[in-house]
Amino acid sequence: MPSASRQSPGIFITLEGGEGSGKTTQARRLCACLTAQGLTVLRTREPGGTLLAERVRTILLDHHKETIAPETEALLILAARRQHVDHVIKPALAQGKTVVCDRFSDSTMAYQGYGRGLDLRILRTMNNWATGKLAPHLTLVFDVPVSVGLQRRRGQDATQNRLDREAERFHKNVRAGFHALAKKEPRRIMMVDASSSIESVEREVEYLVTNWIKTHRFPKPRRREDRCPSLIS
Ligand SMILES: Nc1ncnc2c1ncn2[C@@H]1O[C@H](COP(=O)(O)OP(=O)(O)OP(=O)(O)O)[C@@H](O)[C@H]1O
Ligand SMILES: [Mg+2]
């Protein structure tokens, strides 16, 4: 699959992993670190990242009286992704920005494929169609035991969303899915042991990403951070 590198001057980094694995915490810290290094950074998330896609996110995370078929869930996610790619990610990459995205296509493979049991080949084809084959240059998968991640989510005092309430088996399959994806694409996907402290995970992430950027030829960093504060906190 062609990655963003052949299509644009920016760097596209995605953070993946199960519930409560620390993606959002580390996305904020990584963006601060990259900004301090002189990169122009855009932090965004999925599902979401545009006004319309954030509305789809609400549908996906809310509880509903009618059941949502796995196919419906996948189609909603892909619809939101297309909006996000067209309106936010591609333009930012074209401007040479570093895009740090909290979840992207690998979550679809892990959750809807390995978790819900949808056909992986169909999902991959549909995802390629939805993204125009845009793929991240680098993906970090935050790996924690399911019980640890769910415990952290509960500790956040966050109301339980639709996915938090899934059975433990579902979350275990998702985790196994991320492992399988990393094994298939070891050059793009790096696993991060996210069970240690926030600071220790942060140091590892900084080390991995900084070294990765150094070994890949990207345009000279610019100064200025650019975020979407109205969409994500
Ligand atoms: N390494 C860590 N050790 C202990 N607690 C952590 C660690 N990383 C994050 N947390 C805490 O766990 C909770 C969930 O973290 P965070 O929101 O970053 O995870 P997430 O992967 O984005 O979750 P979600 O899947 O719900 O989006 C937060 O309260 C956060 O402070
Ligand atoms: Mg999060």
What's 112's DSSP letter?
A: I
Q: Which atom of ligand 1 is nearest to the CA of 17?
A: 21
Ligand 1 atom showing the smallest separation from residue 144 Cα: 1
Angle between helix axes 198-215 and 23-36 (nearest 10 degrees) is: 50
Region of poorest pLDDT, from 96-110, 156-170, 219-233: 219-233
pLDDT of residue 228: 39
DSSP 15-75: EEESTTSSHHHHHHHHHHHHHHTT--EEEEESS-SSHHHHHHHHHHHS--SS---HHHHHH
C-alpha 150 to ligand 1 mean position (Å) = 9
What is the tens place of the pLDDT at every residue in 180-227? 999 999 999 999 999 999 999 999 999 999 999 999 866 555 555 444
pLDDT digit string (tens) for 4-33? 545 578 999 999 999 999 999 999 999 999
Tokens standing for 196?
């240690």
Task: Write the single-letter amino acid at 228.
Answer: C
**pLDDT at 183 (0 to 100):** 98
Report domain extents, the chain. 4-215
This prediction has a pTM of 0.92
How far, in Å, is the centroid of ligand 1 from the Cα of 95? 31
Q: Which long-range contacts does 183-190 make (Cβ < 8 Å, 24+ apart)? A: 185/139, 188/3, 188/135, 188/136, 188/137, 188/138, 188/139, 189/16, 189/106, 189/139, 189/140, 189/141, 190/138, 190/139, 190/140, 190/141
What pLDDT, on the 0 to 100 scale, is given for residue 28? 98
If pLDDT is split at 50, 70 and 90, which confidence band does 233 have? low
Q: Per residue in 65-93, pLDDT tens?
A: 899 999 999 999 999 999 999 999 999 99
In one-letter notation, the amino acid at residue 113 is: G
> Probe ligand 1: pick from 19, 24, 45, max atoms within 8 Å of CB?
24
Ligand 1 atom 1, closest CA: 198
Q: What is the mean pLDDT of the chain?
A: 91
| Class of domain 4-215 (CATH, top level) | alpha beta
Q: Is 22 in the pocket of ligand 1 (CB under 6 A)?
A: yes
**Nearest-CA residue for atom 13 of ligand 1:** 152
